[in-house]
Amino acid sequence: MSQVDRPITIVLVDDHALFREGVREILEAQGDLVVVGEAGTSATALELISQKRPDVLLLDVEIPGGSAAHTVTQARALSPSTQIIILSMYDGPHLLRQLLQAGIRGYLLKTVHRYELVSAIRSVHFERDRLVLVVSPESLAQMEGAPSDVLTSKEREVLELVAQALSNRQIASRLNTTEATVKRHLRNIFVKLGAASRIDAVNRAIDASLITPTR
Give the mean pLDDT per block of 10 residues along the chain (215 residues).
76 95 95 96 95 96 87 94 92 78 88 91 84 72 52 87 93 93 86 77 79 74
Please give the angle made by the CA atoms of 93, 95 and 97, to the nearest 5 degrees. Answer: 65
Please tell me the predicted confidence (pLDDT) of residue 170. Answer: 95
Domain 8-142 CATH assignment equals 3.40.50.2300: yes
> Radius of gyration of the chain from Cα atoms?
17
Residues of the chain with CATH 1.10.10.10: 147-207
pLDDT for res 146: 46
**Tell me, what's the pLDDT at 215?**
62
* Angular region, 152: left φ>0, alpha ψ -120 to 50, beta rest: beta
CATH number of this structure's domain 147-207: 1.10.10.10
Listed in order, the ranges of the chain carrying CATH 3.40.50.2300 are 8-142
CA dihedral sign, ordered 154, 157, 162, 165? negative
In Å, what is the CA distance from 8 to each residue of 18, 27, 83, 127?
22, 10, 11, 13
Count of Cβ atoms closer than 10 Å to residue 155 Cβ: 21
Q: What is the pTM of this model?
A: 0.67
Cα-Cα-Cα-Cα torsion 178, 213, 149, 151, nearest 10 degrees, comes to: 30
